[in-house]
Amino acid sequence: MATNTADKKAHTTDRIEKKNAPDSPYVIKNRGQGRLFENENLERLTKSSPAVIFSIYIPVIAGMLYYGIAYKDLSVTRAIIMFFSGMLFWSFFEYLMHRYIFHFITENPRLNKIIYKFHGVHHEYPRDKERLFMPPVPSLLIASILFSLAYLTLGWQALAFFPGFIFGYLLYGSIHYAIHAFPPPPGLKALWRNHHLHHYKYPDRGFGVSSVIWDVIFGTVPKKEKKDKTEAA
């Protein structure tokens, strides 16, 4: 009897919290956490926190910059230019990945499972704070591949470009975490608004999280309506 009552209560809560974006394949749940793997060890690897990610990448950023300037003859001026170029490129990369990879539409069930594990689970459980940063293992694997590509393209200048790229990622992750965890601070309401509209109303718009510049350039800024009712942060 107690189990039935609990099940009924959980069902009622879920029913109240369903707030689907019109074109979203996911039933949005503002409480709880999705399960990605049956194996507990694998499941643990799908979660992270800002402290863990910062503890990994801040030393990487500092180490690369130091090595490039001290041992690879990168001038400070050049390092600064490449660092900010990396940050700018991150914002473009973020937009492209979010729009064309994480929201890739396919009827292939295997691909859909992969997309769900990388991003769909976040749309179903947008307030799950343990999945707002990419977990360390896939993050480091992807970072290694991207650094290799940067090095092949830029040579040792990648030691300044890639830290800027990673810093852009940390900025993005921090903003993304804050959007889902806190109310918007003065001056950043547009970012909060765009991302909540992306989750709750227009999943095919608002792909920029750390910046709206690429949404403006490519015409994917969420529509402005007088009676928009997005979910509060």
d(CA 232, CA 229): 9
Asked whether the whole model's pTM tops 0.75, one would answer yes
DSSP state of 219: T
CB 34 within 8 A of CB 124: yes
d(CA 233, CA 196): 8
* Residue 190, both tokens: 């547009």
pLDDT in tens, 168-227: 999 999 999 999 988 888 888 888 888 989 988 888 999 999 999 999 999 999 987 655
pLDDT in tens, 116-168: 888 989 988 988 899 989 999 999 999 999 999 999 999 999 999 999 999 99
Among residues 225, 232, 226, 219, which one has the least CA distance to residue 99? Answer: 219
* Residue 145, both tokens: 């591949």
Q: Which stretch of 59-63, 109-113, 228-232 has the lowest confidence by average pLDDT?
A: 228-232
pLDDT in tens, 19-41: 455 555 667 888 888 888 889 99
Q: Which SS3 state, helix, strand or coil, does residue 129 take? A: helix
Give the chain's mean pLDDT: 85
d(CA 92, CA 152): 20
How many residues are there in the chain?
233
Beta strand spans in the chain (E)? none
pLDDT in tens, 58-87: 999 999 999 999 999 999 999 999 999 999
